[in-house]
Amino acid sequence: MAGGNEVTVRRIDYPFGFDASGRTARAETNEHIRDMIYQVLFTNPGERVNRPDFGCGLLRLLFEPNSGILADSTEYLVHGSLQRWLGDVLVIRDVSVTRSEEELQVLVVYEQLETGELMQTSFTASPDAGGGIGA
């Protein structure tokens, strides 16, 4: 850095919480990016007051009829939403959506722009978990 100044980036963990010392919990870069992907996927458009178009609304698709067309359109929706909202920190390389019974599995392969590292993360949505989401 210019002048010997070092910049420390602090990323707040999601969901918000406190660490053992009572301070705001922090997240490492990879965990923080995964948290951001989670927020985009499982936020319904209209949920955020100041960003009504934010999110992908993936949970709404749990109760739709299972079909190849739905899987293809879900992959397109996920890819577009992630690229739109997180395009300044990552590039989406692949999205795969698989549906079995009442579960929806999403695999996201992305490249971190800061490091050039290729990463992947997966999420599972199921109504059995009270509409909850597993990682």
* Exposed/middle/buried for residue 52 (C-beta within 10 Å: 0-12, 13-18, 19+): exposed
Q: Which of 73, 81, 85, 86 is nearest to 57 (CA)?
A: 81
Report residue 6's pLDDT band, with 50, 70 and 90 as the boundaries.
low
Q: Which of 115, 133, 128 is nearest to 35 (CA)?
A: 133
The pLDDT tens digits of the residues spanning 47-79 come to 988 999 999 988 887 777 777 777 888 899 999
Report residue 5's pLDDT band, with 50, 70 and 90 as the boundaries.
low
pLDDT of residue 95: 95
Domain segments of the chain: what residues?
8-134
In whole angstroms, give the CA distance from residue 29 to residue 33. Answer: 6
Residue of higher predicted confidence among 101 and 92: 92
CATH number of 8-134: 3.10.450.40
CA distances to 39, 42, 51, 64, 99 from 92, rounded to whole Å, are: 16, 17, 22, 25, 21
Asked if residue 132 has pLDDT above 80, the reply is: no
